[in-house]
Copies of this chain bind each other. A is one copy, B any other.
Amino acid sequence: MHHTLIIVGGGPAGLTAGLYAARARMDHLLIEKGAEGGQVLLTDWIDNYPGFPEGISGFELAERMTAQAKRFELNSMFGNVVSMDLSAPLKRLELDNGDSLSCNALIICTGARPRALGVPGEKEFVGKGVSYCATCDAPFYRNLHVAVVGGGNTAVQEAGHLTKFADKVTVIHRRDELRATKIVQEKAFANKKIDFIWNSTVTGIEGKDGVEQLRLLDTSGKESTLNVEGIFVLIGVLPNNEMLPLTDLKADEGGFIPTDCETRTAIPGVMAAGDIRSKEVRQVVNAAGEGATAVLAAENYLTNLS
């Protein structure tokens, strides 16, 4: 099957691209692997997507974005893209069921996933004390004690951010010094609400209805527990890029896709929007914004194609 435009991924970036493509009456197809919504489905409550004064559940926001795109006759299918050949103007996509698709313009919205600890209890308590985004969830932890796992810039900065809400923030790091830049470290060390547990990893997350305690293991082999109401796992995000031709797309060190400000990648006719982009800020609202920008970039590309 051929379409003028194919959008891969149905999170906020992909759904917004789908909305714009459908409204522009482009011959389009959106391919989503699991359920429409992507990572937002994992997010219990989103307080910072503009337009919802009381916040909205990730599930409902995804449902509303999907309904909106479908109102304008979004053409979508479930499918798992396993590889792409983007070396010719006619771009080719292979699905895991053996089907192949082609398009003239492509918008990559495959997203990213937080790097997880991979310990017992982690999955069960996502949205109930386990969070991967301090910007999103910090205000839920007012006057509580939370842990931050990680030692990089994001982890240490976010620990500081969390102290504006939480009473106490314990940074747990597997080494004996932080990886964050000096100035970020200094601020954290000067902050009386932050303490540190060095040379330690989290081996389990426990609780009843929500997180209550962490199991820790230090490098000498000693086990201990720490009582906290929340744990922020800030050890990086991983791009969902397994199906992408990373060399042709000039992927960055972390495997994310560089674009210009109009979402154009290194390959003409291929745009990338949302968390898969090489960028500093990964939020629902800027993913959505990039989805809109990408469709208009695709339209411009197609217009100039002849």
Contacts and interface: CB of A to CB of B under 8 A. Distances in A.
A111 interface: no
A261 B257 CA distance: 14
A97 interface: no
Nearest to A65: B50
Copies in the complex: 2
| A289, A292, A296 — most chain B CB neighbours (10 Å) | A289
Interface stretch (A18-26, A79-87, A224-232): A18-26
B47 A23 contact: yes
A282 to B, nearest CB: 10
Contacts of A19: 48, 50
A52 B23 contact: no
Interface in A261-306: 261-262, 279-281, 283, 285-293, 296-297, 299-300, 303-304, 306
A306 B52 contact: no
Interface of A: 12, 15-16, 19-20, 23-25, 47-54, 56, 61, 64-65, 67-68, 71-72, 135, 138-139, 157, 161, 164-165, 181, 183-184, 187, 259-262, 279-281, 283, 285-293, 296-297, 299-300, 303-304, 306
